[in-house]
Structure 1
Amino acid sequence: MPSSERSPVSSFVDDYLPALLALASHFISDEFHRVVLAQDLTVNEWRVLACLADGNLMSTGELARVSLTTQPTVTRVIDRLAARGEVRRVDDDSDRRLTLVQITPAGARIVKRLAALAREHEARVLAPMGPQRAADLKDALRQLVSEHAPGTLSSALRAAPPGRGRRALR
């Protein structure tokens, strides 16, 4: 069949959900990661700061899980962010073995600026879909994540009302 007549689904990976999700994530994330790097942050620093943006305390393990980063990498990222005054470590009152991490006002300013740029990027990516299809896509993705990786979603994301978008890490 000539290429002009070929179905848009021409191979297994063209119709395999994990491949489609990975490709979409890769290409869309790479676009925004260039913005992050231009702000003198690493992608992992952005992810950790974005996870802490709501002001809640999180453990290193929680940050690793939600930011899709290994725990040793998150520990090094926290060290760098703390040295720059963008996060601080806080002892857990109920478990002295646990150290929690909290964003500082300096870190919150960085996240506020980058989150605005992330939202602009997201709007450009989703614009061709229209608002309803974009909201439906985000709802479907939240459902998939919730069903396949319990405990991964932030409390704000788990509490998302139907049809309403929440901030993305990427």
Structure 2
Amino acid sequence: MSNEISAETIAELEKRLRYISGIIKQNGRKILNHYPITSPQFVALQFLIDGDMTIGELSNKNGLAFSTTTDLVDRLEKNKLVERVRDTSDRRVVRIHILPKGRTIIEEVIKKRQEYLGDVLANFSGDQTETLNELLAFLSEEMQHIDHK
């Protein structure tokens, strides 16, 4: 923590970020109400859109217990959003693969979230939007840097 930043400023920033995070979560839940998935299932599908994972990898990524992730994947599979596939190089390994229906849901939800953000940013100037984007990118990098220490 830098000595140049007052505790009061840090407290204000934390409160604003917490508030913004809450609004984003609420809006995300509203959007998800129109789809046959829960918030934890959405998070799992987001990870799987980047590539197949084992239950263990998915558990580690989303911070859920192995058994909870297994139940979550069972429900996703039942809804034909994912499938279990044997690894081609090691048949003992089972990977979770997102199906087109799951991919479509993720893409639609993200598009609606982006539309919401567009509405929020409607009164921002181009410079303000660019500055916000740069500052958020820097904040994200710093958070990742500290998390890896």
What is the TM-score normalised by the length of structure 2? 0.72
Distance across 2 between alignment mates of 1:12 and 1:71: 40
Give how far 1:99 is off: 2.3
**Residue matched to 1:148:** 146
Distance across 2 between alignment mates of 1:71 and 1:128: 44
More helix as a share of residues? 2
How many percent of aligned residue pairs carry the same amino acid? Answer: 24
| SS in structure 2 of the partner of residue 58 of structure 1 | coil
**Residue matched to 2:45:** 49
**Residue matched to 1:161:** none
Whether 1:98 and 2:96 are equivalent positions in the alignment is: no
The code of the aligned residue for 2:70 comes to T
What is the TM-score normalised by the length of structure 1? 0.65
* Inter-CA distance 64–117: structure 2 relative to 1 (3 Å threshold): farther
| SS in structure 2 of the partner of residue 88 of structure 1 | strand
CA contact (8 A) 1:57 1:100 kept: yes
**Residue matched to 1:123:** 118
* Inter-CA distance 145–91: structure 2 relative to 1 (3 Å threshold): farther
The code of the aligned residue for 1:100 comes to R
- State the superposition RMSD in angstroms: 3.0
**Residue matched to 2:3:** none
Give how far 1:128 is off: 5.2
Kindly tell me the number of residue pairs found equivalent between the two proteins. Answer: 140
Distance across 2 between alignment mates of 1:70 and 1:20: 30
CA contact (8 A) 1:89 1:100 kept: yes
The code of the aligned residue for 1:82 comes to E
Q: What does the per-residue CA deviation read over 1:73-107, in whole Å, with 9 as the maximum and x for residues that have no partner?
A: 32211111111111011223444553221111121
The code of the aligned residue for 1:139 comes to A
Whether 1:27 and 2:16 are equivalent positions in the alignment is: no
For structure 1, the residue ranges without an aligned partner over 5 or more in a row are 1-8, 151-170
CA contact (8 A) 1:88 1:103 kept: yes
Alignment of 1:67-106 (within 5 A): 67-106=62-101
